[in-house]
Every structure is written in C-alpha cells, then in structure tokens.
A and B are shown apart, each in its own frame.
Chain A
C-alpha cells in the first residue's frame, strides 16, 4: 500500500494482559515513530527508530513499554501488564530520512487500545 498501516485498528484487553501493536511504514522510509494520543489530547512522542535502531526512547512512559523494528520495515510496540491508563490511540508515523533535515512524518490510522 501507499501509506502507513497499523494493526489491529481496535484492541480491547483486560488489565494485566500484554498487547502487541503493529506498524507497517511506507516502503523505503528509514525513520519510524510511535506516538500516544489520549482522548481529546495532542500526540505524545514515545520512540523514534532510525533503521532498526532506536536512538531516542525518551518518551516511553515506563519499562512496561518496549518497541522493536526489523528489516528496516515493520515495527511492533509491546505493552506488558496493561493498565487502564494505557487506554489511548497509538499512532505510528514514518518519514523518508529523519536526520539531516526535518522531513515530513506520515501517520497511520492508529490502534485504539482499551484496557478494561
């Protein structure tokens, strides 16, 4: 596809369970980003990948959150032992370069996570 895709689109889970959220960036984009968007709020930066490395994980809210990227393509955001405050929309974006000059971030549709 031409754009960033994310799956699942919706995820309902019980408190304490682990969840995995997937992002497929635009082909050829070396930079990938994860954001969290709480209801009615702006986007919070979580983590940035350049290739398969994550030089900036400063936005991850706790050690329950982790992310990886493989093949300079797909990324997975994992939340362990989910809590109700983790309920939010998780957005993924990708950009062509990410370094050497700010380039446009293209967003996916997001995964809406609800923790009961």
Chain B
C-alpha cells in the first residue's frame, strides 16, 4: 500500500544551524505534500506545503523541495531557534485524492540554545 518514510526520527542542532528532514513516498500519483509542526499537547499545525507542479517553495526561514522523479521531498529550516523545537510530520496525498493524506512517522527536532 501507500507509504511515506521520514528521516531522521530525531534531530538535534545548535541554535542558528540548519535542519533538514527528508521524506520519501511510494504513490507516483501523489500531488500534494504538506508539512506539519506539532508542539507538545497540541494538534499539528501546517507550516508549509508544496504541490507537484512546483520544485521548491520558500517562506522566510522554511523551505520545501520536491523531486517527483525520485519521489522524495525535504523540509529545510535555516537559522534555527529554540522555538522551532517540536515534532515535524511530512504527508503526501494518496493518488489524486483531494482529501486523503498519509503521514510520515515524525521527526523530533531539538534546537539547543
């Protein structure tokens, strides 16, 4: 079945450094790839998303890249801050579904002050 693999499971960086989280997906028909940030005790919050007709998208310190040929996409956070510490989830739409997402297993990011 459809699958999204996410790496690493944990990531520790020094404040100011960059963090990169990678995901691969199995369904070649997937066309929507959101990233969510989940803080302790809260629901996931969308931080950035990308659609299959775009290779890269940037929003201030956050960027996402997509390689459809290789079926992988990555989240890049530059100039990390302690408040970036959280669990990050990638997701991919299933087929051409407009609603169904399959999520990665999450990356726990710790930014050390």
Q: Is A95 an interface residue (CB 8 A)?
A: yes
A97 to B98, CA, bound (A): 9
Our pick among B46, B99, B102, B105 for the contact of A41 (Cβ within 8 Å) is B105
Our pick among B93, B100, B102, B103 for the contact of A48 (Cβ within 8 Å) is B100
Chain A: residues with Cβ within 8 Å of the partner, total of 28
Please state if A42 and B99 are interface contacts (CB–CB under 8 Å). no
Interfacial residues, chain B to chain A (CB-CB below 8 A): 4, 6, 31-32, 34, 36, 41-46, 49, 51, 89, 91, 93, 97-106
A45 to B31, CA, bound (A): 18
7 closest Cβ pairs, A-B complex: A107-B43, A42-B103, A102-B32, A43-B103, A42-B105, A98-B99, A107-B44
Residues of B within 8 A of A110 (CB): 42-43
A34 to B30, CA, bound (A): 21
A55: min CB distance to chain B, Å: 9
A70 to B107, CA, bound (A): 36
A8 to B47, CA, bound (A): 26
Q: Chain A's interface: helix, strand, loop or mixed, by majority?
A: loop
A100 to B97, CA, bound (A): 9
11 additional contacts (CB under 8 A) given A4-B43, A102-B31, A110-B42: A31-B99, A44-B103, A48-B100, A91-B44, A100-B98, A102-B51, A104-B46, A105-B101, A107-B45, A109-B41, A110-B43
Closest to B104 in A: A42
A31: min CB distance to chain B, Å: 6
Our pick among A42, A93, A101 for the contact of B98 (Cβ within 8 Å) is A101
Please state if A56 and B100 are interface contacts (CB–CB under 8 Å). yes
Please state if A45 and B46 are interface contacts (CB–CB under 8 Å). no
Known A-B contacts A42-B104, A102-B93; A109 and B98 likewise in contact (beta carbons under 8 Å) = no
